[in-house]
Amino acid sequence: MHVILREEDACPKLDRLVKAEVERAAAQTPTFPALQQVFKANSGIENPTYRDMYLSWDSLRVQRIMGFQLPAWALQPLARFKYLTVFDALKDIFNTRVALAASPELRTLSVGGMMRTLLDNMYNMLDNNGRPVVVLNSHGPMLGGLEVALGLSGKLQPTSTCMLFELHQTHGGPVVRLLRRHGETTDIEELPLPCRRQPCPLQELERNLPWVPRSVQDVKRECKE
């Protein structure tokens, strides 16, 4: 599954909630006003949000991993703070954003639509083709938030890391295994899903994820409130 982030997919309510959460925990990201000034001066964005910075940092880190030169503004020191560069300070925005996915009230808006789509695709696969195994995958900047929402580590993963949802049709009903492939390597590890047994029965998985909305449209409507 590939998720394309477009302007119409933005979630103003999520941005407001994340900003409010971070402001209540100001010690985590005291750099936000300073970073806003850097972005205003260099990005052309009049009022940059946490989402703008989150997505920008992910692009910058991929540039660094691929060996491309970062823009000069990203490497400038952030005055009065402990960070060596703006790039280092942006990493805190990423870490805070991912950690907030553990908050029940934010899971639906941050990764709920993505998980709803994965579950819907699994049910559709069962209805339409009857194949014994189907693999769906998630990757990109959403990976950390999805891991945290599922009760996993949510650690920053190498570029090209992906999560693989294996759907198996068994005599006892459909079950799901969750695997993670690390970066460009062939290393694969199995991750536990929030179920009493593994592989996880598909219907039990859905019941155990109360933050997953009934439909993607529900998320879109709530985002605009």
The predicted-structure confidence for 117-138, as pLDDT tens digits, reads as follows 989 988 988 877 666 555 655 5
Closest CA to 82 of 74, 72, 92: 92
Whether 125 and 52 share a structural domain: no
The predicted-structure confidence for 68-111, as pLDDT tens digits, reads as follows 999 999 999 887 777 788 898 888 777 777 777 778 778 899 88
What domain range includes position 181?
Answer: 105-223
Q: What is the pLDDT of residue 130?
A: 60
3-state DSSP assignment of residue 23: helix
Q: Choose one of 101, 118, 146: the last residue of a domain.
A: 101
Whether 59 and 145 share a structural domain: no
d(CA 133, CA 141): 26
Whether 97 and 112 share a structural domain: no
Number of domains the chain contains: 2
Q: Say how many CA atoms lie within 13 Å of 174 toward its Cβ.
A: 23
d(CA 100, CA 97): 5
Whether 111 and 192 share a structural domain: yes
User: What percentage of the chain reaches a pLDDT higher than 70?
Assistant: 82
pLDDT at 33 over 50: yes
Q: Are 111 and 142 in contact (CB under 8 A)?
A: yes
The predicted-structure confidence for 196-219, as pLDDT tens digits, reads as follows 999 999 999 999 999 999 999 999
Whether 109 and 180 share a structural domain: yes
Whether 169 and 181 share a structural domain: yes
Q: What is the pLDDT of residue 203?
A: 95
The full DSSP string for 71-85 is: PHHHHS--TTSS-SS
Residue 79, in any domain of the structure: yes
Q: Choose one of 101, 129, 147: the last residue of a domain.
A: 101
Q: What is the pLDDT of residue 2?
A: 34
User: What percentage of the chain reaches a pLDDT higher than 90?
Assistant: 22
Whether 47 and 112 share a structural domain: no
Q: Choose one of 101, 132, 153: the last residue of a domain.
A: 101
The full DSSP string for 96-160 is: HHHHGGGSHHHHIIIIIHHHHHHHHHHHHHHHHT--SEEEEEEEGGGHHHHHHHTTS------TT
Whether 115 and 207 share a structural domain: yes
Whether 96 and 109 share a structural domain: no
pLDDT at 4 over 60: no
The predicted-structure confidence for 153-200, as pLDDT tens digits, reads as follows 766 677 677 888 889 888 889 999 998 887 667 788 899 999 999 999
Residue 191's DSSP bridge partners are: 178
Closest CA to 78 of 36, 22, 27, 49: 36
Q: What is the pLDDT of residue 200?
A: 96
Whether 62 and 156 share a structural domain: no
Quote the Cα angle for 167-172-174, to 5°.
20
